[in-house]
Amino acid sequence: MKLPIYGYGQPVLKLKAKEVEENNDLIQKLLKDMWETMYNASGVGLAAPQIGLSLRIFLVDTVQAMEEGEEDQGIKKAFINAQIVEEKGEEWAYEEGCLSIPGIRGDVDRLSKIRIQYLDENFEAHDEVYDGINARVIQHEYDHIEGVLFTEKVKPLKRRLIQRKLDKIKMGKVSADYRMKFKGKTKR
């Protein structure tokens, strides 16, 4: 089932999300719905707060996004109760976007390498290292479960330039080719 994506301005996007306590049918259904919602919106990542649930769950699929000949291998994974335990390497800028903030993109500086501990969709524990685009998408989604949006990490000048657009999105004055839910109203 496709779920509406919560837009910029929704309070749930600003909360630090809670840990998932146990694997059950509801969580499995939620994961299935999140994958469907993400692909329907052509996203490479989706976090539970973006569908209105303050839970530490996010999905990443960089397989399609990886360009031919790219050294990195894409990943397709669910991250449950993730903790980034280390970020290192060089800081690099990459233009990010977000399904909750349609029509806005901006460069964000992040460190290139991360180590992350998480449970997969079967609730098996992993401790892994990522870099490149994989790390980038994970960092963006991880921010979502910490209640942080990429627009808070763009340079101050860029931030001033996009502020009016953000205010419009908050009011639901934006179009996306997937269903969204803004504070107080639903719009297609």
Q: Of the residues 68, 91, 124, 141, which is catalytic?
A: 141
Least Cα distance to 101 among 17, 175, 14 occurs for 175
Specify the DSSP element, H or E, that contains 160: helix 156-170
Alpha-carbon distance of 21 to 36, in angstroms, equals 23
Of 23 and 75, which has the nearer Cβ to Ni ion? 75
Q: What whole-number distance in Å separates Cα of residue 43 and Cα of residue 57?
A: 15
Of 7 and 172, the one with the shorter C-beta distance to Ni ion is 7
Least Å distance between CB 98 and Ni ion? 3
- Let me know if 141 is a catalytic residue: yes
Q: From residue 38 to residue 77, what is the string marking binding to Ni ion with x (rule CB under 5 A)?
A: ----------------------------------------
Map residues 80-109 to x or -, x wherever contact with Ni ion holds by CB under 5 A: ------------------x-----------
* CB 119 to Ni ion: min, Å: 21
Sheet of 185-187, strands arranged across: 5-6, 180-182, 185-187
